[in-house]
Structure 1
Amino acid sequence: MARANDAVAALLQEYADLLTITGGEQFKSRVYEKAARAVGGLASDVASMDAGELRQIRGVGASIADKITEYLRDGHVAAVDALRLQVPSGVPELVRIPTLGPRRAVQLHDDLGVTSVDELRDAIVAGKLSGHRGFGERTAENILHGIELLERSHGRVLLSVATDAAEQVVEALRGVRGCRRCMWAGSLRRFRETVGDIDVLAAATRSGPLMDAFVRLPMVAEVLAGGPTKTSVRLVGDLQVDLRVVPLASWGAALQYFTGSKPHNVRIRAIAVRAGFKLSEYGLFRVDDGSLVASATEEEVYERLGLQWVPPPLREDRGEVEAARDHALPALVTAADIRGDLHTHTDLTDGVASLADMVAAARDRGYEYYAVTDHARNMPMQRMTDEKMLAQRRALRELESAGGPVLLHGTELNIGPDGELDWPDRFLAGFDLCVASVHSHFAQPAEQLTRRLIRACENPFVTILGHPTTRLIGKRAPVDADFDAVFAAAARTGTILEVNSFPDRLDLPDELILRAKRHGARFAINTDAHAPVHLDHLRYGIGTAQRAWLTAEDVVNTWPIARLRTLITAKRNPAPR
């Protein structure tokens, strides 16, 4: 169930896309894109704002505020409806394909007459794109891969979307009389990057009141199935939620049963069988006499099987069962370990909040240190200059003098097609740290992309390699690079690898973090925040890091500032070999 801000942001982004499709002014399209980011990153609920308050949002003028008001009042906007009618049939479906923008979607419709994703795929396979301006063989391959991504993500939502919905459901059910425990389980509790449906577990003596309250929730669009122990609904937005109610005495066994992946649970049940037990959602029972052995807590269930309790993000059958048997599971990094954020933005570039507002948000979180890393000058749309960056540094020092976290002035550099960076070393030396990221030329051959990333690691002033694969979940595939070579270079040069917490990135993903750790690399869990509310995305990066078995020692922004600075200085001044 999307909050009002997300629904409004989606509408504004759609309007921006429609302006592009219909040949509208690019400046106007960019204005609506910026307004979409501003509303999406707003902590306050736009549904509670009047027109005057809406106009106070950065990037939201009178015309946009009127459209927001119209949408919140009527459920649609006449101007958006009118533009939708101008768009050729089938083009909106084509626009949903990752790697295919609005203009190219229109071109394909006009040139080939395709009106659906299936028709476009057939046209590419038949070679009909060959010879068309701007559509070479590599472009055709990228579009086919985009179609794969679209189909693979069908019916799945981002971790953040599922979490928002689960929080609303659980909060409502916890208030029902007779509810003793309630929380979500399944892949959401394991912090999978996308979720197909949500499993909610509740404990109560009587299930009826909980089931009745569940189906009457305002975010429920349809009841799919109902019963005394399980009810399934479809929320507004098509996300399915299954509610299961168990006796309080069975809480731990049920939570274990409905949290683990299928392979993990198969392994646990096999251990139970070999020990003469039967494990179900109601408890761990002796086979010979049916007596209950454990059920109240997960810890108790694992302990009676001779296992260390396994944190939910690890329950994927990737070695955690063996480690639990040997009582050798690591102490995973937690949000409480994080001392600061090393990748954030302000409205000096593409953020939607001022420097002062972002610093105040970091202060409110109790951070020991906080880095501001706005984009550098090689991304023309950001309009960065040396003078603007130096002025921000002075402003940051003034804010730091007022107390609060140590403020680090950084920048997010763009890694160019050949691995070049935005500024020469003499200018980079003035920053406390530098994040370097790929923002363009994603389709380069693997060898070129690999060298490009390694060259960035080899620059002594690059502290962190930002969102290393560049992926956008469900929208853009990871770049094709030899990441083992990149990870080896990062470990060799002391370059920190980012675990980007933004929900549509989660980059590095857990599988690559595991590989990078084997090379000896260090990590930073950052939010890449563009608004104060984005600082809350940290939990998704933490969950991703936990899935990859990271400890606080592996993550440099759990370190005290003095130790972090020593690491940065050591890279800038490597010892002679």
Structure 2
Amino acid sequence: MARPNDEVEALLREYADLIAITGGDAFRARAYEKAARSIGGYPADVSHLDAEGLREIPNVGRSIADKVLEYLRTGRIALVEERRARIPAGVRELIRIPTLGPKKALRLYEDLHVSSVDELASAIEADALADLRGFGEKTQDNIRHGIELLRRAGSRIPLSAALETAEEIVGELSRVTGCRRCAYAGSLRRMRETVGDLDVLVAAERSAPFMAALCDLPATAEVVARGTKKTSVRTAGGLQVDLRVLPPASWGAGLQYFTGSKAHNIRTRTIAVHQGLKLSEYGLFDAGSGRSLASRTEEEVYARLGLPWIPPTLREDRGEIEAALRGELPEVVTERDIRGDLHTHTDLTDGLAPLEQMVEAAAARGYAYYAVTDHAPDLYMQRMTDEKILAQRERLRELDGVHHGMRLLHGTELNIGPEGDVDWPEDFLAGFDLCVASLHSHFDQDRAALTRRLVRACENPYVHVIGHPTTRLIGRRPGVDADWDAVFAACARTGTALEVNAQPDRLDLCDEDILRARDHGVRFAVNTDAHSVRQLAHLRYGVGTAQRGWLTREDVINAWPLSRLRRFLRGG
């Protein structure tokens, strides 16, 4: 199921970690990290490339290309195996903990003989780290929180990986003779940020061919249980897939039943009971006579309960039933509503593709407008200069309108400094069409300082959008500790939009924060923060998160026509 690019990316990232753990050259480790990122974002399948083709990928030199070819040929890289053998398994387990770096993990192993996550948790509770240099109270708090994040994630996998697997399985099963309908359901259809297992439904007269097909898929590593109504398998990536085959007449009821959260389904079943009905995966029935009243479509089932169809992303029992009964269910924003992407990068800074390729790919998506927002100079490793950004602006103006009339906006992603200041003086900022401002450092400031910092950025008249506001990385880094209600109020007051960052490991703001910010009257921008052509397609994850936050076209500035967006950017 995983793309060869993703497999190679994971292996090269692991090698970079192993270099760091063993005290290897930091620049070499960084080179492997950059190559991993480039390969992961490369649009072509690396398994189809030769050495010359691999070396055309940014940051991939001869040595790394040779290692990639070795992996594609043998399924392993000898140097990685050698490094693994030098590192105790316990240390490799410890570096899975968010906030705990490889050097600290090695010290814990060598000084305290800690070799597992549970042992480290016990050592912290026993105050055994107190005498270790570099493991002060704040560091221990961060590690403790990292352990909580790791345990909370458990065996859950990211939305993007689950969706990719689900679409492959649905595609395969849809080709089996006798398939009338096939779809995924459950938390994936609700677009939750992580997925514990995968629910796949098929509508067919006979179940046996589909159960056999699932068990025989190349991605199936283990058959957990096989039956006539339900079969469960586990993929090589550890994801459990539960397949249920329903009679075609029950398709709508089954899809409704297996999509909603437990709480949402309790509410719909309660409504049914109060009407003298019984709701199950097979249909909505009269409780007395057993006569089927609705089952073929979800719309039919909801209508018989006295409700409009409720979008899957809202089915969490967070007020959607009450809103539906009042006729106030939002018409949530869709991917088709998004007219342009307002946060993207090119190879001028840390992107993988040149400006021309990114613009062409954006136009192919049918956008009306598109913004390029490369990093500003305070993110020093990107080596941005005034001359570079102005040259990019000139080239962007040349390309404006060339591709299907798509209009181009020249922007930048500014860095919000420790005091809330941003890169470049005001007279220089005035030349940009759009400025996104984001936190990239000093995440450990206290709550009051972080709040002041974010509010000051909102108050800057040249900042239009706060990018990936909480800075979280799902399962790896918690969001910063700020008074978010104060920040949301400042955004509403100053007319600064908050980003819903569509990168699958960010989805920042998350749905719960979106709901809170929306109550303050904040506007939003659903952006990909794309660093490659392939990442432009991540928009779907941002839109799903926006839907879970009940956002409509009116709430999202890049769902507006360009004329209205420009008025917003001018402060009008």
TM-score by length of 2: 0.98
CA distance in 1, matches of 2:322, 2:100: 45
Checking the alignment, whether the CA contact within 8 Å between 2:43 and 2:533 is kept in structure 1 is yes
Encode CA deviations 1:307-333: one digit per residue, 9 max, x unaligned: 111110000001111122223211110
SS at match of 1:70: helix
Q: Does 1:103 find its partner at 2:137?
A: no
Letter of the 2:203 counterpart: A
CA distance in 1, matches of 2:107, 2:546: 42
**How far off its partner does 1:118 sit?**
1.6
CA distance in 2, matches of 1:231, 1:132: 51
Once the two structures are superposed, the pairs formed by residues 455-534 of structure 1 within 5 Å of their partners are 455-534=456-535
CA distance in 2, matches of 1:394, 1:401: 14
Letter of the 1:249 counterpart: A
CA distance in 2, matches of 1:414, 1:17: 27
CA distance in 2, matches of 1:489, 1:75: 52
What's 1:264 paired with?
264
Once the two structures are superposed, the pairs formed by residues 100-499 of structure 1 within 5 Å of their partners are 100-400=100-400, 402-403=402-403, 404-499=405-500
Change (3 A) 1:336 1:89: closer
**How far off its partner does 1:128 sit?**
2.4
Encode CA deviations 1:177-228: one digit per residue, 9 max, x unaligned: 0011000000000001100000000000110111111100000000000100
**How far off its partner does 1:407 sit?**
1.1
Letter of the 1:379 counterpart: L
CA distance in 1, matches of 2:110, 2:393: 50
Change (3 A) 1:538 1:273: same
Checking the alignment, whether the CA contact within 8 Å between 2:401 and 2:407 is kept in structure 1 is no
What's 1:554 paired with?
555
SS at match of 2:39: helix
CA distance in 2, matches of 1:402, 1:205: 52
Encode CA deviations 1:467-519: one digit per residue, 9 max, x unaligned: 11110000001111110000000000000000001111000001110110110
What's 1:540 paired with?
541
SS at match of 2:499: strand
Instruction: Identify which range, 322-331 or 207-216, moves more after superposition.
Output: 322-331
SS at match of 1:570: coil
CA distance in 1, matches of 2:249, 2:73: 47
What's 1:13 paired with?
13
What's 1:34 paired with?
34
**How far off its partner does 1:107 sit?**
2.5
Encode CA deviations 1:375-400: one digit per residue, 9 max, x unaligned: 11111221212222112112212222
CA distance in 2, matches of 1:79, 1:393: 44
SS at match of 2:200: strand
CA distance in 2, matches of 1:320, 1:288: 29
CA distance in 1, matches of 2:303, 2:101: 53
CA distance in 2, matches of 1:85, 1:224: 32
CA distance in 1, matches of 2:104, 2:393: 41
CA distance in 2, matches of 1:439, 1:161: 26
The total of aligned residue pairs comes to 571
Letter of the 1:475 counterpart: R
CA distance in 2, matches of 1:553, 1:434: 21
Letter of the 1:224 counterpart: V
Change (3 A) 1:224 1:375: same
SS at match of 1:222: strand
CA distance in 1, matches of 2:103, 2:331: 49
SS at match of 1:439: coil
CA distance in 2, matches of 1:358, 1:26: 31
Letter of the 2:37 counterpart: R
Letter of the 1:455 counterpart: R
**How far off its partner does 1:94 sit?**
0.9
**How far off its partner does 1:151 sit?**
0.7
Letter of the 2:547 counterpart: Q
Instruction: Identify which range, 52-61 or 160-169, moves more after superposition.
Output: 52-61
Letter of the 1:488 counterpart: A
Encode CA deviations 1:450-481: one digit per residue, 9 max, x unaligned: 11110100000111000111100000011111
SS at match of 2:570: helix
Letter of the 1:235 counterpart: T
Letter of the 2:26 counterpart: Q
CA distance in 1, matches of 2:401, 2:219: 47
Encode CA deviations 1:70-96: one digit per residue, 9 max, x unaligned: 111111100111111222441111110
CA distance in 1, matches of 2:509, 2:196: 21
SS at match of 1:450: helix
CA distance in 2, matches of 1:298, 1:523: 30
SS at match of 1:90: helix
CA distance in 1, matches of 2:202, 2:88: 48
Checking the alignment, whether the CA contact within 8 Å between 2:47 and 2:72 is kept in structure 1 is yes
CA distance in 2, matches of 1:498, 1:321: 27
**How far off its partner does 1:568 sit?**
1.1
**How far off its partner does 1:374 sit?**
1.0
SS at match of 2:400: helix
CA distance in 1, matches of 2:176, 2:153: 34
Q: Give structure 1 stretches of 5+ with no counterpart.
A: 572-577
Encode CA deviations 1:123-164: one digit per residue, 9 max, x unaligned: 222222224332221111000000000011011001001001
Letter of the 1:529 counterpart: A
Encode CA deviations 1:44-83: one digit per residue, 9 max, x unaligned: 1112222222122111112111111111111110011111
**What root-mean-square deviation, in Å, do the aligned CA atoms of Structure 1 and Structure 2 show?**
1.1
Instruction: Identify which range, 402-411 or 276-285, moves more after superposition.
Output: 402-411
Change (3 A) 1:259 1:71: same
Instruction: Identify which range, 353-362 or 41-50, moves more after superposition.
Output: 41-50
Q: Give structure 2 stretches of 5+ with no counterpart.
A: none
Letter of the 1:465 counterpart: I
Letter of the 1:197 counterpart: D
Change (3 A) 1:109 1:380: farther
CA distance in 1, matches of 2:560, 2:470: 25
Letter of the 1:504 counterpart: D
What's 1:574 paired with?
none
Letter of the 1:23 counterpart: G
Change (3 A) 1:381 1:108: farther
Checking the alignment, whether the CA contact within 8 Å between 2:185 and 2:198 is kept in structure 1 is yes
SS at match of 2:346: coil
Percent identity, aligned pairs only? Answer: 65
Once the two structures are superposed, the pairs formed by residues 24-103 of structure 1 within 5 Å of their partners are 24-103=24-103
CA distance in 2, matches of 1:395, 1:248: 56
CA distance in 2, matches of 1:81, 1:134: 30
TM-score by length of 1: 0.97
CA distance in 1, matches of 2:350, 2:243: 40
**How far off its partner does 1:401 sit?**
5.7
CA distance in 1, matches of 2:124, 2:286: 60
SS at match of 1:241: strand
Letter of the 2:394 counterpart: R
